[in-house]
Structure 1
């Protein structure tokens, strides 16, 4: 695996840790999500032409997305969660390829 991708994956792992604690308390860590989105943009650029994507990176992104969806089900006011769910979904599609949009 490319060193830059490996470094980015480690960076994303730290960001995910910053997101998950508050998320489990039904709270959104906006600065951490901003860092995650920036890292996801960089990841998309780095792996755009790759045929395989690091499993750990995919698992981390899926973990955040699935927890967003899960935790939003436990709150009355979903307005904090919905924009992040949509943005994560769009960025994951962008990273993993546009073919997912046809599923």
Structure 2
């Protein structure tokens, strides 16, 4: 199992190593958001959780003596892949949901 949570801590998921959610925790503050926004954030957290599981598997395989070429051929994520994905997600979360003016 793997887990991830939002920066605010209002959402948290526990997933299989493949990113399938087995538990989702939603704090009351997250319920104030649009349902589509909450759903998108849950999916993002599931992807991040799967990447974290892949990174741990990569590290375990290398530590157990599996050759790096073999591990690289498995195309498991690296820590910098997760960091890059988190930066992109942060950028997307800061972008306006709509360019239309209200009012």
Greater helix percent: which structure? 1
TM-score above 0.5, yes or no: no
Indicate the structure whose relative CO is greater, using CA pairs within 8 Å and at least 6 residues apart.
1
Question: TM-score, normalized by length of structure 2?
Answer: 0.33
Greater strand percent: which structure? 2
Question: TM-score, normalized by length of structure 1?
Answer: 0.33
